[in-house]
Amino acid sequence: MNWTTIKEYQEILFEQYGHIAKITINRPHVHNAFTPLTVSEMIEAFTISRDDASIGAIILTGAGDKAFCSGGDQSIRGNGGYIDDHNIPRLNVLDLQRLIRIIPKPVIAMVKGWSIGGGNVLQLVCDLTIAAENAVFGQTGPNVGSFDAGYGSGYLARVVGHKKAKEVWFTCRQYSAQEALDMGWINTVVPLEEVENETVAWAEEILKKSPTAIRFIKAAMNADTDGLAGLQQFAGDATMLYYTTDEGREGKNAFLEKRDPDFEKFPKFP
């Protein structure tokens, strides 16, 4: 596959193939553990992908075949978060999780090897997950003095059920790709050498569908799990559509033309 670089970064790769963007955590020497810089670079790359109308789907992955992501880099964990270059402790991965949830385009995790800790929460919050046969999934927080009681727990319980989610967190066991598939944690498992072609094929299949339909389906499912914040996202999509209608424009035009709006002519569907 011929990926072209969109922008150079220090700790991630950011590439494009057709209408697909690929964001790769590029720290294979630590199984792609993330630092505050990795996360801020991902936030920027996701934001660029969100704003670029030529991009319709985003793949998140890790460099090499050994790991998707092993979570926060424990070597720079300090009081209150992961320490950045300015000596400020950050948990900016939580902002990244939210961004992945609200981007109105499908985000697909492509998982090779370890998907562990905060890295596994990143694959969880992606809309779909395509795994290689060597993928291993698990949480480590209670072993290493950490936890994700947000999406990492509550949303996991929605995805795999409460009993399994508690098992995952209470025992910190590691699960094979097939076990994760059986739990409904991921979408499919393919041989390692096929995982990129398969992930791109899924993205291209979705890209043939109505982008507005996909946008609303994602927002609706997230509204169910994200409460009022999810409803705000869904409502924003509805407002965007309303602005494209004659009825929506009539209100704006009437104000600018200093006249009463004429909404009589618009249908009142049952």
Interacting residues toward ligand 2NE by CB under 6 A:
30-31, 33, 70-75, 91, 93, 114, 116-118, 140-141, 144, 146-148
Q: C-beta of 186: minimal distance to ligand 2NE in Å?
A: 17
Q: C-beta of 227: minimal distance to ligand 2NE in Å?
A: 21
Q: C-beta of 118: minimal distance to ligand 2NE in Å?
A: 3
Burial (CB < 10 A; 0-12, 13-18, 19+), residue 29, is exposed
Q: Are 67 and 28 in contact (CB under 8 A)?
A: yes
User: In 10 A of CB 262, how many CB atoms?
Assistant: 11
Q: Which residue is nearest to ligand 2NE (CB)?
A: 71
Q: C-beta of 143: minimal distance to ligand 2NE in Å?
A: 7
Q: C-beta of 77: minimal distance to ligand 2NE in Å?
A: 8
Asked if residue 251 belongs to a known ligand binding site, the reply is no
Residue 36 or 106 with smaller CB distance to ligand 2NE: 36
Per-residue burial over 226-261, b = 16 or more CB atoms within 10 Å of its CB, e = otherwise: beeebeebbeebeeeeeeeeeeeeeeeeeeeeeeee
Nearest to 117 by CA among 38, 13, 222, 31: 31
Asked if residue 62 belongs to a known ligand binding site, the reply is no
Residue 33 or 57 with smaller CB distance to ligand 2NE: 33
Largest CA distance in the chain: 66
Residue 31 or 101 with smaller CB distance to ligand 2NE: 31
Asked if residue 230 belongs to a known ligand binding site, the reply is no
Please state, in angstroms and as integers, the Cα–Cα distance from residue 113 to each residue in 61, 70, 73, 202, following that order.
11, 10, 17, 20
Asked if residue 115 belongs to a known ligand binding site, the reply is yes
Asked if residue 49 belongs to a known ligand binding site, the reply is no
Specify the DSSP class assigned to residue 173.
-
Residue 49 or 97 with smaller CB distance to ligand 2NE: 97
14 forms bridges with which residues in the sheet? 7, 23
Nearest to 25 by CA among 96, 83, 76: 96
Asked if residue 117 belongs to a known ligand binding site, the reply is yes
As annotated, the binding site for substrate includes 70-74, 82, 114-118, 140, 146, 243, 258
As annotated, the binding site includes 70-74, 82, 114-118, 139-141, 146, 243, 258
